[in-house]
Structure 1
Amino acid sequence: MINAAPDATLGHISHPAHAQRRILRVLVASQILSGAGLAAGVTVGALLAQDMLGTTSLAGLPSALFTGGSALAAISVGRISQARGRRPGLATGYLTGAIGSAGVITAAVLDNPVLLFIALFIYGAGTATNLQARYAGADLAPPGRRARAVSTVLVATTLGGVAGPNLAAPAGTLAEHLGIPHLTGLFVISGAAYALAATVLALWLRPDPLLLARAIAQAKEADAAADPATTDKAETGEARGGVVLGALVMILTQLVMVAIMTMTPVHMHDHGHSTAASGLVIGIHIGAMYLPSPFTGWLVDRYGHMKIAAASGITLLAAGVLAATAPADSVALLALALALLGLGWNFGLVSGTAIITDTVPLATRAKTQGLVDVSIALAGATGGITSGIMVAATSYPALAFTAGTLSLALLPAVAATAYRR
């Protein structure tokens, strides 16, 4: 684990806005790098498993493994961040993801499926850390701008996330020059990207946003204690309901998104599309997951969490229906369906994150956020592993339509919470 170095925290208390600007710049730089690391597992993980095992029914297993691995990593990153700050937590998570990438390459060289699955599980730490970084952007943000701060961190992932899948062909050529299997090329890029992201955070995420936010809160404690009208939101039933709703929104959007996304490259491969075409579709999907973030953040801050959470369910439904009805030979329609899938996920993640951040107090914030992200990762693992089984038993259109319909469960949950308020 990367140890926390002392911060000149007290020197920044009087200038939190200046510290926030610096923190966002560093987070943006690390997210651009880590975004490229996300691409490998999504684009070629399922294809690697399919080649090694010779069956489509377990093609969703890699997605399940690295999202399952991200669940364990979310706990670890959350606890390290709670105890030592965001910097050591995030840097350790990205370094672990780099180690997992190296393990995948080794497994492919040895043609060892067991090692592949273990390495993919470890690789999932990068995915968990990429998501946990959004919370660091909101630690020092004022309440009316938290969704936009989260969005700034998320949108930075777009550059690497879109470029990564579209490097599939040249990365494969690089892999062949290195004497390793073609499909491992993206994992070479992933390992380097995660290692660089860890280095950027370890060196430059100063002051630590969570530690500084705590110091500011402690400085205001006396004033808060003197005001009898002050109530800890975390102790209210409304706050607890907010945590449940925020978690539900993110869990359901993750489940639906991963299920459809995981099997799309396999579906395209089975209908004669090239790896480059699959990479293009996944690149558009990842771009739609992150690129709209500034606009989504503004919508959440302007119109509230509930409306954007509801919009997430409707958008995911549209994505599922389009993916189910699109002709298998139409790259354009599949790309549009995956773009809508990414947009619906973005609406859910930004609105759900804002609900959690507004609800949880600093004293337990990182730990609670880590536990919520565990649930999100487990939902992704469930979506990944069941998607391959369902496609093998039925078809890709059946999977897409079922997943899209499932997203409508968000609407009664949002309506019930809004009614209680």
Structure 2
Amino acid sequence: MSTPDDISTKPEQASAEQPSAQPWQADARVAAVQRRTVRVLSAAQIVGGVGVGVAVSIGALLAESVAHSETYAGLARTAMTAGAAAVGVPLALVAQRAGRRTSLSLGWLVAAVGGALLVGAAVSRSIPLLIVGMLLFGVGSATNQQSRYAAADLAAPHRRAQALSIVVWSTTIGSVIGPNLADPGAAVASALNLPRLAGAFVLASAGMALAALLLWGLMRPDPLMLSLRYQEAEERQEREAGTRAAAAETDVAQKKLRSTGTLRAGLRHLRHSPRAAFAFTAVVLAHTVMAAVMTMTPVSMAQHGSGLTVVGITVSGHLLGMYAFSPVVGWLADRIGHLPTVVAGQAVFLVSAALSGMGHDSVGLMMAGLFLLGLGWSFNLVAGSAMLSEATPAPLRPGVQGTTDTAMNVVAAVGAGLAGPLMSWIGFGGLNAVAAVLVLPVLAFWALLVRAR
């Protein structure tokens, strides 16, 4: 029986043994590696995602306790977002050169170091150490996001969205556990004689370090490197079966592709591939819609008399919509197609904007609107990410994916920053109306794709 290591060193033989009518992902040995990869990624998402959840709920509190300033509490959130945005492309380039295993392990390890620095900042009351720690801790968010792409590297084309969605779903556990680590963290802090809030970051760093160890030790063979070897073997067989002229033309194209640089070639691919560009647009705008509306929802609810418990339940419902149903979304995307699923996500966004925009006096409408906001994001992220992988050649995939995640975080940060002034000017209903307008570019792009068929 072949082992994963056998597969990683003998892709040509495996590809030659399988029937030519079957995609190489249908090989039983590749399928076994794919199942193992998804399991390992999911486990890493759970333990590492706890740290991401801590950052969302306790990061600002730690910053305020260190700096004794609400301004620094906001700066801490900005620093984490900046850290996530800054490493999207570098992590992708590491994956391109050394594989997903190295890239994702390194990302979680850097985030764990950031958590350790935050513990140090809590002890020393050092603001510079706090900012650096927040920047590095934000790398965990980028790593968490890029993990979904690794699940699609070896997936069969008709199961790509479902594989990706399982890893997205695993984030649910961390997002639920992380915000509730304040009390267990306080016990840890007491045992280690640390400031109370530092204990949660001790646990978060441990989880992120464990994620790095899981990926480094168990994600073998590397899914991206293995998929590249299989596809190179497949291309070689096609050239051998074709004419010499076709083979020479392919060789020239491959050399040109490699010589231009992965990132540059990936950006050019986004400009010239309508389906990849559509997926890029859908993912980036969906994240912006979600961030802008979600940022101001607690503020709007508080202004209309909702207590912290009701706000917390509403946010939990939003997170439920974002993550809990992603396997269903993945199944749907593989069944009806990635493009229709993204378009369905736009319809969900429009309903969400209507309910939230009109429901500022109704807790029920706000809860329903926020749940649908999360669900619309899930439709776009899962189907859009799968479509991006499908529409991008394997050698260019990491660079295009990293560029997408960087753009997603940067544009969403701008949207979240503008959400406050917009709500002050036109109200929460107006903010939702502006968010609904962001659906229109995606629908217009979809109409162009359909017309071009």
What band does the TM-score fall into relative to the shorter chain?
0.7 to 0.9
Q: Evaluate the alpha carbon distance shift between residue 61 and residue 236 of structure 1 in structure 2; reply closer, same or farther with a 3 A threshold.
A: closer
What is the identity, as a one-letter code, of the residue corresponding to 1:356? L
Aligned to 1:403: 435
Kindly indicate whether the alpha-carbon contact (under 8 Å) linking 2:182 and 2:197 is maintained by their aligned counterparts in 1: no
The correspondence for 1:318, drawn from 351, 361, 376, is 351
Q: Evaluate the alpha carbon distance shift between residue 319 and residue 60 of structure 1 in structure 2; reply closer, same or farther with a 3 A threshold.
A: farther
Aligned counterparts of 1:152 and 1:79: Cα–Cα separation in 2? 24
1:355-388 deviations in Å (ceiling 9; x for gaps): 2111111222212211222111212222233334
Aligned to 2:151: 137
Q: Evaluate the alpha carbon distance shift between residue 416 and residue 64 of structure 1 in structure 2; reply closer, same or farther with a 3 A threshold.
A: farther
Kindly indicate whether the alpha-carbon contact (under 8 Å) linking 1:26 and 1:205 is maintained by their aligned counterparts in 2: yes
Aligned to 1:273: 307
Q: Which has the higher contact order (CA 8 A, sep 6+)?
A: 1
Aligned to 2:183: 170
Aligned counterparts of 2:52 and 2:286: Cα–Cα separation in 1? 18
SS at match of 1:138: coil
The correspondence for 1:365, drawn from 390, 394, 397, is 397
Aligned to 1:304: 337
Deviation at residue 29 of structure 1 after TM alignment: 0.9
Higher deviation after alignment, 248-257 or 218-227: 218-227
The correspondence for 1:354, drawn from 360, 370, 386, is 386
Aligned counterparts of 1:147 and 1:334: Cα–Cα separation in 2? 29
* Structure ID, larger Rg: 2
Kindly indicate whether the alpha-carbon contact (under 8 Å) linking 2:44 and 2:212 is maintained by their aligned counterparts in 1: yes
Q: What does 1:326-337 correspond to in 2, within 5 Å?
A: 326-327=359-360, 330=363, 333-337=365-369
Kindly indicate whether the alpha-carbon contact (under 8 Å) linking 1:70 and 1:377 is maintained by their aligned counterparts in 2: yes
The correspondence for 1:261, drawn from 285, 294, 315, is 294
Higher deviation after alignment, 241-250 or 28-37: 28-37
Higher deviation after alignment, 359-368 or 80-89: 359-368
The correspondence for 1:377, drawn from 398, 409, 419, is 409
What is the identity, as a one-letter code, of the residue corresponding to 2:205? G
Aligned counterparts of 1:99 and 1:269: Cα–Cα separation in 2? 36
- Cα RMSD for the two superposed structures: 3.4
Kindly indicate whether the alpha-carbon contact (under 8 Å) linking 2:88 and 2:402 is maintained by their aligned counterparts in 1: yes
SS at match of 2:41: helix
Kindly indicate whether the alpha-carbon contact (under 8 Å) linking 1:68 and 1:380 is maintained by their aligned counterparts in 2: no
Aligned to 1:3: none
What is the identity, as a one-letter code, of the residue corresponding to 1:75? V
Kindly indicate whether the alpha-carbon contact (under 8 Å) linking 2:349 and 2:373 is maintained by their aligned counterparts in 1: yes
Q: Evaluate the alpha carbon distance shift between residue 238 and residue 176 of structure 1 in structure 2; reply closer, same or farther with a 3 A threshold.
A: closer
Kindly indicate whether the alpha-carbon contact (under 8 Å) linking 2:54 and 2:201 is maintained by their aligned counterparts in 1: yes
What is the identity, as a one-letter code, of the residue corresponding to 1:407? V
Aligned counterparts of 2:270 and 2:52: Cα–Cα separation in 1? 37
Deviation at residue 307 of structure 1 after TM alignment: 1.6
Aligned to 1:290: 323
Aligned counterparts of 1:338 and 1:45: Cα–Cα separation in 2? 23
What is the identity, as a one-letter code, of the residue corresponding to 1:83? R
Report % sequence identity: 36
Aligned counterparts of 1:305 and 1:182: Cα–Cα separation in 2? 46
Deviation at residue 324 of structure 1 after TM alignment: 3.7
Residue segments in structure 2 that go unaligned for 5+ positions in a row: 15-28, 254-265
Aligned counterparts of 1:401 and 1:113: Cα–Cα separation in 2? 39
Deviation at residue 153 of structure 1 after TM alignment: 1.4
Aligned to 2:262: none
Deviation at residue 206 of structure 1 after TM alignment: 0.8
Q: What does 1:212-231 correspond to in 2, within 5 Å?
A: 212-225=226-239, 226-227=241-242
Aligned to 1:66: 80
Aligned counterparts of 1:265 and 1:45: Cα–Cα separation in 2? 17
Aligned to 1:119: 133
Scaled by the length of structure 1, the TM-score of the pair is 0.85
Q: Evaluate the alpha carbon distance shift between residue 326 and residue 357 of structure 1 in structure 2; reply closer, same or farther with a 3 A threshold.
A: same
Scaled by the length of structure 2, the TM-score of the pair is 0.79
Higher deviation after alignment, 34-43 or 77-86: 34-43
Aligned to 2:216: 202
Kindly indicate whether the alpha-carbon contact (under 8 Å) linking 2:360 and 2:428 is maintained by their aligned counterparts in 1: no
SS at match of 2:340: helix
1:99-154 deviations in Å (ceiling 9; x for gaps): 22333444455555554443322222111111111111111111111111111211
What is the identity, as a one-letter code, of the residue corresponding to 2:292? A
Q: What does 1:9-158 correspond to in 2, within 5 Å?
A: 9-10=8-9, 14=14, 15-46=29-60, 61-108=75-122, 115-158=129-172
SS at match of 2:87: helix
Residue segments in structure 1 that go unaligned for 5+ positions in a row: 1-5
SS at match of 2:221: coil
Aligned counterparts of 1:384 and 1:209: Cα–Cα separation in 2? 35
Instruction: Work out the number of aligned pairs and report it.
Output: 412
Aligned counterparts of 1:134 and 1:404: Cα–Cα separation in 2? 27
Aligned counterparts of 1:411 and 1:62: Cα–Cα separation in 2? 35
Kindly indicate whether the alpha-carbon contact (under 8 Å) linking 1:161 and 1:283 is maintained by their aligned counterparts in 2: no
1:280-323 deviations in Å (ceiling 9; x for gaps): 44333223212211111121112122221122222223333433
Aligned counterparts of 2:234 and 2:359: Cα–Cα separation in 1? 56
Deviation at residue 162 of structure 1 after TM alignment: 2.4
SS at match of 1:412: helix
Q: Evaluate the alpha carbon distance shift between residue 61 and residue 152 of structure 1 in structure 2; reply closer, same or farther with a 3 A threshold.
A: same
Deviation at residue 59 of structure 1 after TM alignment: 6.8
1:207-243 deviations in Å (ceiling 9; x for gaps): 11011111211222222223479999x9999961112
SS at match of 1:220: helix
Kindly indicate whether the alpha-carbon contact (under 8 Å) linking 2:300 and 2:360 is maintained by their aligned counterparts in 1: no
